[in-house]
Structure 1
Amino acid sequence: MLRHGGQILVDQLVRFGVERVFSVPGESFLAALDGLYDAGIDNIVCRQEGGVAMMAEAYGKMTGQLGVAFVTRGPGATNASAGIHIAHQDSTPLVLFVGQIRRQDHDREAFQEVDYKSMFGGLCKWIAEVNQTERLPEYIARAFTIATAGRPGPVVLALPEDMLSAMADVPDSTGPVVELAPTLHTVSEDALTWLSGFDRPLVVVGGPHWSAEAAKDLATFSATQNLPIALGFRRQDYLDNRHPNYVGDLNVGVNPKLAQRVRDADALLVIGSRLGDIETQGYSLIDPANPHCAILHVHADPNEIGHVYQPDIAVTADAVSFTRALSRLPASATDWAPWTTSARADYDAWIKPQETPGDVKLEQVIAWLSDTLPKDAILTNGAGNYAAFLHRYFVFKAYGTQLAPTSGSMGYGFPAAISASLEHPEKTVICLAGDGCFQMTLNELSTAAQHGATPIVVVVNNGRYGTIRMHQEKQYPGRVSGTMLSNPDFAALAKAYGGHGETVTKTADFAPAFARAKASGTFAVIELIVSEDALSTNQTLSGLAKS
């Protein structure tokens, strides 16, 4: 049966089980839009391609399924590159379809022409251009396989507009590859035997490939062995933070006592995490050239093992399968109780709010949210000083409740919150954002209004790019340059888009404002007017380590 390329493409998406895509339309992929017309796939039309890619990335991170995005050529693709970088560093499966100029016009610097292989070469797992309509099923099947295999990540397919509009008679792909979880019983036994030879082991869990069942298995394993569990940067929902063996997360503003515990550990069992820059505080907690401790590294991609740290033992396996095997082992004869109990006590002390200046105490707002929200509430954030408060004071209680970029990308939180609200309309979705962070993607308020998303955005307004200002004050004190912000009335802006908006100037007013936002039944923005000093004193990334 003859079909145009856009229909062939969409038919492959249906065959692969895609239920939702994110897009900003472009004339370069009109045939694909035509294919989506009656395909039964939900097309979330966004306002800027950065938001498109971030929503698709959040979808992939949240569901474990592959995120799919469509953007047009040239500026559309360059805008989307921010989300591709997030997906790459966060190990999130994603396929970005980019419209492309006609094949016959290549190398003429035609309107919006870009060499995508050069542009995306270092940002994704694979980039290709499909120049034959009949090969679309082949390329799409390969793209889905590469995006999800090993260490997941983004794949980019460029689609010349004349290729998409051309007709072809070609069979559909056979569908996604079915992978069976490996049997890891013997390997996990060996790992526990190895671990039992150490007095001060620390288990570090992060990376991709996680699930609610994996979180339960990790809880069982840690309780059975009485081992301390530290989670990777922005992977705080991989274990209920109330679990007695949870000892904190290795984030930018890490608990200094947890950092010291990494230094004091004589063995690290690293599951899923790359053990990267943030988790190691710029590779200072563990010297790549001369690690102070033994390392057993478990990762799904063999190319990641030994990339920075040479482990004593390497296991190529996904974190879910390996943790499941660990959870079925009997207790070790080694007693790690004192070491674990001490580490947990450090965490409990760390999350007690430390007072900041001003009439709105962000530490109290976060503590109230932690104590009040349903345990399945989803929290999103981008990057900024405000995020340190969330990571320190919010107690994550269930898997799937944290959406944040390990790449440190500003503007991520709000598109992610829209994606989460559309996927889980029954859940409370909260976006924490700084004033600078929110303004990078707040145009997606219109997307929320159009598609019925109802996240609540808590905007921390201190009139500056807080993190950069903090570093500026440390390195060039008293010489403020390029870090001040002039902000709109965020509450009024939310109302202009048809949502609910409030401004809070005192801590006591936050809870009633939140209740009204929740009751509004629409998206909402609560603007917190915080002291200009609040995010540049003892609660900042540097101050966190001193408090």
Structure 2
Amino acid sequence: MPDAGKFIVQFLENSGIDRVYCVPGESFLPVLDALVDSKIETLTTRHESAAGFMAVADGRLTGRPGVAMVSRGPGVTNASIAVHTAQQDGLPMLLFVGQVERRNLRRDGFQEIDYGKMFADIAKLTVEVRDPDDLPQILSRAFFTAVSGTPGPVVIALPEDLLALPVTTAEAVPSDMPLYTLPASGPSLSAVSQAARLLSRASRPLIIAGMEFAREGGRELLMRFAEKFSVPVAVSFRRHDLFPNRHPLYAGDLGIANPPAQLDLFGSADLVLALGTRLGDLTTHGYTFPLSPWPRQPLVHVYDDASLVGRHFNPVVGAACKAPDFLAMLLREDCGPADGARADWARSLHEQTCRQNAWTPSRQPDGVVFRNVVHELSSQLGPDTSIVPDAGISAALVYRFFPFSGAQRLYATMAGVMGFGIPGAIAVAMREPRRTVVCLVGDGGFMMTGNDLAIAVEKKLPVRVFLANNRNLGTIHFHQEKLYPGRSRASALPGPDFTRLVRAFGCTALTLDSEEDIAKVVAEALAVSGPVVVDVRTSLRALTAPAGT
């Protein structure tokens, strides 16, 4: 009969978990002891936020809940940033948290937090285990909740006195069947037929493609459908890799930086097919396209969460099912094209996107213009590339000046969270050892979680980090200069000599401080077999300079 610590680890193993990320704490020692004899790899990070970020990335890569383990109080507070990221991004995550002994609960004990209150608005489920015999049902429910509907984070609090107690119900756990099962769901035939009729009559249809097409085979299905019926595809917020950006049917992305001319074009669509997307506030520009609650054009909304279809927008056709399944059935229907107008419609959308995302070389006297580095990366990187941006300007330039194609993948967070870049890239590199993993991060983001570069060195992971070093929190500086010219405050960020810092970890470090050396240094970095950090001495003036300079 296993104790609670061993049972938790056994359950994780039987559920397909092969890696956990943690900062160890005395509040869950029996779990750590059980991991010694487990096949599960235990990865110790340098900060709880990094453990959480790696679990978030793992959840996205595997489709299973990414697992992080942290201690109570300060530990879980540090990790909470990743819980919010998992919620914003709709990614499955399990966070196991140590807790004070049961007799001290709700008595303001040392490092005690009521996690139910703390995570009420950001976790899908928060459970505090009071009886070890409840663990089978709690863990089964936790896995189911994390992956069902819109995936998200689940927090499980483990009082430390409980973990060494026996789980007398462990024998009831079946060994020959899944420990949790998602219910089968499928498209409605009537919904598919109605969508087909709408599309056959439309001359300016537009697909808004979301995260559900990131699953295996989803991108190929989306391409096949778009090409068969000549339907332009716009990708939802930070989902640039769902559709080849140079394809004539690529209509661009919906997000923060759409100019008025592009929004006007989108608004002239006579049918919107929102497929696999939650249609959140950034994708819809504050719920103005489509217009909430009654869109100006017929809306077909397909998303595998009934609680979201119809919540903000009233669709003509609403289907709570997996968008790729719906599209596969729609592919067999007669959906047009209605007339030759679709070719002109697609051309106008694609040309608008190409104009606004066109790269032109730029120079500034105070450093390297980082968008030139991004452009060079797009020229040198091959199809088997995974881009992991952090947040801020270094990430925003990727969304504009790196045209994704083929098997290239983008692992950006919807939450726009600083500090994700380094731990996220490490998690991706461990899951994708044969791909080229490139992290783009600012000096601010690097200083938050850069210490976990030690893991990349230890494991010899070929992570290529391009660090935009302008000694500033660039995004904040940009907005301050826009609203309060010459009155920037608190955004200056003096920092270390990153080249020497990186080398102290045993990592290869390169310096890029000249426009003429961009191509050479990028090629040198991509040729390094282990981890490498390129300290790009970046122009701050480029953030506020007029376009084209």
Q: Quickly name the TM-score band, shorter chain normalised.
A: over 0.9
Aligned to 2:516: 508
Aligned to 2:438: 430
Aligned to 2:343: 337
Aligned to 2:36: 37
- Do 2:199 and 2:336's aligned partners in 1 also have CA atoms closer than 8 Å? no
Structure 2 residue 191 is matched with structure 1 residue 191: no
Per-residue CA distance 1:291-336 (angstroms, 9 max, x = gap): 3222111111111122222222211112232233234445514132
Q: Which runs of 5+ in 2 are unaligned?
A: none
How far apart, CA to CA, are the structure 2 residues paired with 1:362 and 1:450? Answer: 29
Specify which of 483, 499, 503 is matched with residue 475 of structure 1: 483
Alpha-carbon spacing, 1:353–1:500, altered in 2? closer, same or farther (3 Å): same
Letter in 1 for 2:352: D
Report the Cα offset of residue 289 of structure 1. Answer: 4.6
SS in 1 for 2:283: coil
Q: Which moved more, 1:495-504 or 1:61-70?
A: 61-70
Aligned to 1:449: 457
- Do 1:503 and 1:529's aligned partners in 2 also have CA atoms closer than 8 Å? yes
Structure 2 residue 271 is matched with structure 1 residue 263: no
Report the Cα offset of residue 344 of structure 1. Answer: 1.5
Aligned to 2:390: 382
Report the Cα offset of residue 121 of structure 1. Answer: 0.6
- Within-5 A mapping of 1:306-321: 306-321=310-325
How far apart, CA to CA, are the structure 2 residues paired with 1:400 and 1:116? Answer: 39
Specify which of 288, 292, 295 is matched with residue 291 of structure 1: 295
Report the Cα offset of residue 183 of structure 1. Answer: 5.1
How far apart, CA to CA, are the structure 1 residues paired with 2:201 and 2:546? Answer: 40
- Within-5 A mapping of 1:300-311: 300-311=304-315
Report the Cα offset of residue 208 of structure 1. Answer: 4.2
Alpha-carbon spacing, 1:78–1:208, altered in 2? closer, same or farther (3 Å): farther
- Do 1:184 and 1:321's aligned partners in 2 also have CA atoms closer than 8 Å? no
Aligned to 1:347: 353
Percent of aligned pairs with the same residue?
36
Per-residue CA distance 1:510-543 (angstroms, 9 max, x = gap): 332233333332211101112221122346xxx9
Per-residue CA distance 1:355-393 (angstroms, 9 max, x = gap): 444252322221221122121210011210222210011
SS in 1 for 2:214: coil
Aligned to 1:135: 134
- Do 1:458 and 1:527's aligned partners in 2 also have CA atoms closer than 8 Å? yes
Structure 2 residue 101 is matched with structure 1 residue 102: yes
Letter in 2 for 1:73: R
How far apart, CA to CA, are the structure 1 residues paired with 2:293 and 2:546? Answer: 33
- Within-5 A mapping of 1:409-428: 409-428=417-436
Aligned to 1:281: 285
Letter in 1 for 2:38: A
Q: Which runs of 5+ in 1 are unaligned?
A: none
Alpha-carbon spacing, 1:253–1:80, altered in 2? closer, same or farther (3 Å): same
Report the Cα offset of residue 188 of structure 1. Answer: 2.6
- Do 2:123 and 2:153's aligned partners in 1 also have CA atoms closer than 8 Å? yes
Aligned to 1:12: 11
Report the Cα offset of residue 343 of structure 1. Answer: 1.1
- Do 1:23 and 1:69's aligned partners in 2 also have CA atoms closer than 8 Å? yes
SS in 2 for 1:162: coil
SS in 2 for 1:122: coil
Alpha-carbon spacing, 1:366–1:255, altered in 2? closer, same or farther (3 Å): farther
- Do 1:101 and 1:113's aligned partners in 2 also have CA atoms closer than 8 Å? yes
How far apart, CA to CA, are the structure 2 residues paired with 1:35 and 1:255? Answer: 55
Structure 2 residue 539 is matched with structure 1 residue 535: no
Aligned to 1:182: 186
Report the Cα offset of residue 348 of structure 1. Answer: 2.5
Q: Which moved more, 1:163-172 or 1:124-133?
A: 163-172
- Do 1:46 and 1:444's aligned partners in 2 also have CA atoms closer than 8 Å? yes
How far apart, CA to CA, are the structure 1 residues paired with 2:290 and 2:405? Answer: 29
How far apart, CA to CA, are the structure 1 residues paired with 2:238 and 2:142? Answer: 27
- Do 2:385 and 2:407's aligned partners in 1 also have CA atoms closer than 8 Å? no
How far apart, CA to CA, are the structure 2 residues paired with 1:537 and 1:330? Answer: 50
Alpha-carbon spacing, 1:193–1:18, altered in 2? closer, same or farther (3 Å): same
Report the Cα offset of residue 181 of structure 1. Answer: 5.6
Report the Cα offset of residue 338 of structure 1. Answer: 1.2
How far apart, CA to CA, are the structure 2 residues paired with 1:329 and 1:13? Answer: 43
Per-residue CA distance 1:411-459 (angstroms, 9 max, x = gap): 1111110000111111110001111122111111122223333311101
Aligned to 2:248: 244
Letter in 2 for 1:14: E
How far apart, CA to CA, are the structure 1 residues paired with 2:150 and 2:406? Answer: 24
Alpha-carbon spacing, 1:251–1:354, altered in 2? closer, same or farther (3 Å): farther
How far apart, CA to CA, are the structure 1 residues paired with 2:437 and 2:259? Answer: 27
How far apart, CA to CA, are the structure 2 residues paired with 1:189 and 1:452? Answer: 53
- Within-5 A mapping of 1:61-76: 61-76=60-75
Task: Calculate the aligned-residue CA RMSD, in Å.
Answer: 2.0
Q: Normalised by the size of structure 2, how large is the TM-score?
A: 0.94
SS in 2 for 1:311: coil
